[in-house]
A and B are shown apart, each in its own frame.
Chain A
Amino acid sequence: MISMPCDSAGSGLIALGAIRKYLEDSGANDIEFHRKRIRDEEKKKLKDRRILLYTNCSKYKFRYHSNDDDGRDQIEQILRASKKSQQNPFIINDVDLKAVYFEGEPCLMIDNGNELPYGDIYRNLLDKCGEVYDSNLKTTYSGVCLAGRTMGENTTRDILSRIRLHSGSEPVQLDILLSVHDWSCEKISRLLFFNSRTKKIDRQSAPLRLVVADGDAAFLKVYDNIDLFGECDIIAVIDRTLERDRLDKIVETINKLAQWYLPENVLPENIPPIPKGISLAIWKKR
Chain B
Amino acid sequence: MSTTASSICAFIAQDHQYVIDRRVISSCDFSLFRRNLLKIIKTLNECEANDTTEISNKLRWLLSEWITTPIPFGKDLSEKIKILGKPEEVAMRWPDIKEAYEVSLIAATRLSQNENPIRLEIRHVIDDLIVSGKKFKIYCHKNARQYFESIMHDLSPDLIDGDYFIHKPKDYRRIEPFDVLIKVGPFRSCGWGSCPDALLTAPRFETAIQFVWSGSRDEPGFGLDPVTGVSIIGENSFDLSLPSENGMSRVIPWALKITQTGEFLPIIDEDEFQVFQTINKVDKRTAVLLHIDEQYGILYPFREKILIFNPTADSQNEQIGLHLPGDVSVSGAFLILPIIAPVDFGELHAKDGAYSLIWKKRLSEEIRKDHSGLCKRLFDSGIKLISLFSRIEEWSNPPKTVILAPQKVEHFRILIDHLGIEGHVEGQKQPWWQYAWKEIRRSKGEAISEGRIAQDLLHEHSLKLLISLQEKIHEKTKQETDFYIRLPEGKELQGHFRFCKIVDIEIDFRAPDSAFREINDLREFEQWRG
- Chain A residues with CB under 8 Å of chain B are 1-10, 150-154, 162, 197-198, 216-217, 238-248, 250-251, 254, 264-267, 273-282
Q: Which among A197, A246, A274 is the interface contact of B314 at CB below 8 angstroms?
A: A197
B416 within 8 A of A: no
Given contact pairs A6-B9, A248-B224, A254-B226, a sample of 8 additional A-B residue pairs in the complex whose CB atoms are under 8 Å apart: A5-B8, A216-B226, A241-B198, A243-B169, A243-B196, A244-B190, A251-B229, A264-B248
Contacts of B329 in A (CB 8 A): 151
Interchain CA distance A242-B224 in the complex, whole Å: 11
Are A6 and B8 in touch, CB under 8 angstroms? yes
Please determine whether A240 and B202 come into contact, CB atoms closer than 8 angstroms.
yes
Q: Which residues of B contact A246 (CB under 8 A)?
A: 326
B246 touches A241 (CB 8 A): no
Could you list 25 A-B pairs, sorted by A, with CB under 8 Å? A5-B9, A217-B327, A238-B226, A240-B202, A240-B226, A240-B227, A241-B198, A244-B194, A244-B197, A245-B302, A247-B224, A254-B226, A254-B227, A264-B248, A267-B246, A274-B250, A275-B250, A276-B12, A276-B252, A277-B252, A278-B9, A278-B249, A279-B225, A279-B244, A281-B249
Residue numbers in A under 8 Å from B302 (CB-CB): 245
- Indicate if B189 sits at the interface (CB-CB under 8 A): yes
What is the bound-complex CA distance between A4 and B194, given in angstroms?
Answer: 21
What is the minimal beta-carbon distance from A257 to any residue of chain B, in angstroms? 11
**Which residues of chain B are near A3, meaning CB under 8 Å?**
225-228, 249
Q: Which residues of A contact B172 (CB under 8 A)?
A: 241
Query: A5's closest neighbor in chain B, by CB?
Result: B202
Interface centre among A9, A239, A277 (most CB of B within 10 A): A277
B13 with A275: CB separation less than 8 A? yes
Chain B window 319-350, contacts with chain A (Cβ cutoff 8 Å), 1 for yes, 0 for no = 00000001101000000000000000000000
Cα distance, A216 to B227, chains bound together (Å)? 10
Across-interface contacts of B162 in A (CB, < 8 A): none
Give the shortest distance, in Å, between B299 (CB) and chain A (any CB).
Answer: 15
The one of A153, A244, A251 in contact with B196, judged by C-beta atoms closer than 8 angstroms, is A244
Distance in angstroms between the alpha carbons of A5 and B228 in the assembled complex: 13
Is the Cβ of B13 less than 8 Å from the Cβ of A238?
no
B-side contacts of A4, CB under 8 Å: 5
Q: Are A242 and B248 in contact (CB under 8 A)?
A: no
B248 touches A277 (CB 8 A): no
Chain B residues with Cβ below 8 Å from A151 are 329
List residues 179-202 of chain B with CB under 8 A from any CB of chain A. Answer: 189-190, 194, 196-198, 201-202
- The answer to whether B248 touches A254, judged by C-beta atoms less than 8 angstroms apart, is no
Name B residues whose Cβ lies closer than 8 Å to a Cβ of A. Answer: 3-5, 8-9, 12-13, 169, 172-173, 189-190, 194, 196-198, 201-202, 224-229, 244, 246-252, 286, 302, 313-314, 317-318, 326-327, 329, 507
Q: Nearest CB to that of B249 among chain A residues? A: A279
**Which of chain A's residues have a CB closer than 8 A to the CB of B227?**
1-3, 238, 240, 250, 254, 279-281
Of B4, B169, B286, B326, the residue contacting A241 (CB under 8 A) is B169
- Would A152 and B229 be within 8 Å (CB), given that A5-B9, A9-B5, A267-B247 are in contact? no
| Chain B residues whose CB sits within 8 angstroms of the CB of A7 once the complex forms | 5, 173
Contact among A5, A9, A266, A275 with B246 in the assembled complex (CB-CB below 8 Å): A266
**A152-B318 in contact (CB<8A):** yes
Question: How far is A265 from B248 in the complex, measured between Cα atoms in Å?
Answer: 7
Contact of B5 with A6 in the complex, beta carbons under 8 Å: yes
Q: State in angstroms the CA–CA spacing of A10 and B5 once bound together.
A: 9
List, in ascending order, chain B residues with CB within 8 A of A9's CB. Answer: 5
Contact of A274 with B248 at beta-carbon distance under 8 Å, contacts A240-B226, A244-B196, A254-B229 already known: yes
Q: Which chain A residues border B327 with CB–CB below 8 Å?
A: 150, 217
Q: Known contacts A3-B228, A240-B227: does B202 contact A278 (CB below 8 Å)?
A: no
- Residue of B3, B194, B251 near A6 (CB, 8 A) is B3
Which residues of B sit under 8 angstroms from A241, Cβ to Cβ?
169, 172-173, 196, 198, 201-202
Which B residues lie within 8 Å of A247 (CB)?
Answer: 197, 224, 226
Residues of B within 8 A of A267 (CB): 246-248
CA distance A278 to B12 in the complex (A): 10
Q: How far is the CA of A10 from the CA of B3 in the complex (A)?
A: 15
Interface contact B507-A245, CB-CB below 8 Å: yes
Closest A residue, CB atoms, query B223: A240
Known: A150-B327, A254-B227, A279-B227. A6 touches B247 (CB 8 A): no
A69 CA to B252 CA, complexed, in Å: 68
Roughly how many angstroms separate A278 CA and B251 CA in the complex, as a whole number? 8
By the criterion CB–CB under 8 Å, are A266 and B196 in contact? no
A152: contacting residue among B3, B169, B198, B313, CB under 8 A: B313
Collect the chain B residues with CB atoms within 8 Å of residue A238's CB.
226-227
Cα(A58)–Cα(B189), bound, Å? 59
Chain A nearest CB, measured from B445 CB (Å): 24
Set of chain B residues within 8 Å of A277, measured between Cβ atoms? 8-9, 12-13, 202, 250, 252
Complex CA gap A9/B8 in Å reads: 13
Q: Collect the chain B residues with CB atoms within 8 Å of residue A152's CB.
A: 313-314, 318
Residues in A with CB closer than 8 Å to B189 are 244
**B322: min CB distance to chain A, Å:** 13
Q: How far is the CB of B300 from chain A (nearest CB, A)?
A: 13
A146 to B224, CA, bound (A): 26
A281 CA to B228 CA in the complex, in Å? 6
> Beyond A7-B173, A241-B198, A275-B250, is A153–B226 a contact (Cβ under 8 Å)?
no
Interface pair B197/A240, CB less than 8 Å apart: yes
A236 CB, nearest partner CB in chain B, Å: 8
Q: Which chain A residue has the least Cβ–Cβ distance from B195?
A: A244
Q: How far is the CA of A216 from the CA of B228 in the complex (A)?
A: 14
* A275 touching B9 in the complex, CB below 8 Å, given contacts A5-B202, A241-B196, A265-B246: yes
Q: Please, which residues of chain A bring their CB within 8 A of the CB of B314?
A: 152-154, 197
Q: Please give the distance in Å from B229's CB to the nearest CB on chain A.
A: 6
Shortest CB-to-CB span from A244 to chain B, Å, is 4
Residue among A6, A250, A280 with the highest chain B CB neighbour number at 10 A = A6
User: Closest Cβ of chain A: how far from B122's Cβ, in Å?
Assistant: 26
A contact residues around B318 at 8 Å (CB): 152, 197-198
Question: Which residues of the partner chain B approach A240 to less than 8 Å between Cβ atoms?
Answer: 197-198, 201-202, 224-227
A168 to B9, CA, bound (A): 26
Let me know if A281 and B12 touch, CB within 8 A. Answer: no
Report Cα–Cα, A4/B5, bound state, in Å. Answer: 9
Contact between A279 and B190 (Cβ–Cβ < 8 Å)? no
Which of A244, A267, A277, A280 has the largest number of chain B CB atoms within 10 A?
A244
